[in-house]
């Protein structure tokens, strides 16, 4: 995706350039809200009304010593400042940056334990996101790897299970934004190739079809790129099955920020797309 002509992203290009100047061996992966904005707003023309207040950058790390050295290298430059949080830095004194390590610091369940605070955080799916990332060209020739849209939807499901009690509605509303706009501005011919069964439905709905394709694409990406696709797909399946059960508590539906019946239909379509492609 070429966004090199977008002057509004010069600040992001400067951030990535400053990271690479002091830590050239650590390639950042854009995740979180800024990935959402790059893919949907800047790249797709979708209007997003919730502002992005910080930047989440993930890094493949072999061990905690490597992460500490990487963090120290950033702090040794004039561009980055320390905060009271071990995972958070300030760029140019104002922009909050979250550094998220994954890979060698994960346990078997895809969790990391921050050494200082002993806080547990799920990074399940980050290795898959890295393997299926898109490259975005920023102003000044900078490039950034960004989680793909279907993988971002999967990561939002995982993140919701990890933090919805502490940060309700955030991940659920982002998931809805992705599902409802998955085909926004894109060639809709895929509906006639990959989702003809949805076109034949009496109550056909474009957004519901888009959600199904998002689920199908996510499962296909995981199956192609993951060293252990069953683990991530099973977690996503379990969450979606539980949260779309009409007899369940429907916590995820309640946090989506849209009419509950519409949210439930979109989540069920996303679930069905995942299940159809993954055959689980």
pLDDT tens digits, one per residue of 219-247: 999 998 887 888 899 999 999 999 999 89
Beta-carbon contacts of residue 202 (< 8 Å; ≥ 6 apart): none
**Using one digit for the tens of pLDDT, what is the confidence trace for 81-117?**
999 999 999 999 999 999 999 999 999 999 999 999 8
Q: Which residues of the chain have pLDDT under 70?
A: 185, 187, 278-280
3-state secondary structure 128-179: HHHHCCEEEECHHHCEEEECCHHHHHHHHHHHHHHHCCCCCCHHHHHHHHHH
**CATH topology (fold) of 7-147:** Beta Polymerase; domain 2 (3.30.460)
Find how far residue 266's CA is from the centre of its chain: 18
Return d(Cα 15, Cα 44) in angstroms, integer: 23
pLDDT computed for residue 44 by the predictor: 87
Give one DSSP letter per residue of 16-42, joined into a string.
HHHHHHH-TT---EEEHHHHHIIIIII
Which residue spans of the chain are classified as CATH 3.30.460.10?
7-147
What the block records as the tokens of 70 is 């990487």
Give the residue from 267, 270, 235 showing the smallest Cα distance to 251: 267
What count of other Cβ atoms lies within 10 Å of the Cβ of residue 136? 23
**CA distances in angstroms from 189 to 108, 145, 210, listed in the order given:** 40, 27, 12
**pLDDT score at 202:** 79
pLDDT for position 59: 97
């Amino acid at each position: 995706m070429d966004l090199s002509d977008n002057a509004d992203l010069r600040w992001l290009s400067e951030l990535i350039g400053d990271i690479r100047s002091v830590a050239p061996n650590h390639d950042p992966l854009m995740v979180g809200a800024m990935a959402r904005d790059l893919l949907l707003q800047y790249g797709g023309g979708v209007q997003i009304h919730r502002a992005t207040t910080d930047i989440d950058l993930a890094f493949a790390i072999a061990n905690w010593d490597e992460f500490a050295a990487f963090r120290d290298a950033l702090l040794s430059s004039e561009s980055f400042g320390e905060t009271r949080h071990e995972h958070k830095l300030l760029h140019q004194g104002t922009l909050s940056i979250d550094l998220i390590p994954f890979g060698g610091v994960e346990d078997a369940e895809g969790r990391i334990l921050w050494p200082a605070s002993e806080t547990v955080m799920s990074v399940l799916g980050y290795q898959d996101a890295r393997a299926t990332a898109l490259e975005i060209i920023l102003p000044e020739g900078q490039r950034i790897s960004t989680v793909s849209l279907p993988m971002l939807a999967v990561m939002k499901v995982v993140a919701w299970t990890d933090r919805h009690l502490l940060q309700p509605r955030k991940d659920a509303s982002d998931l809805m934004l992705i599902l409802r706009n998955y085909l926004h501005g894109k060639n809709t011919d895929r509906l006639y190739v990959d989702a003809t069964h949805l076109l034949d439905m009496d109550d056909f709905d474009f957004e519901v079809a888009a959600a199904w394709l998002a689920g199908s694409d996510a499962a296909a990406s995981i199956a192609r790129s993951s060293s252990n696709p069953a683990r991530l797909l099973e977690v996503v399946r379990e969450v979606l099955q539980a949260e779309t059960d009409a007899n369940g508590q429907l916590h995820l539906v309640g946090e989506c920020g849209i009419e509950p019946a519409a949210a439930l239909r979109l989540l069920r379509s996303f679930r069905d797309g995942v299940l159809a492609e993954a055959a689980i």
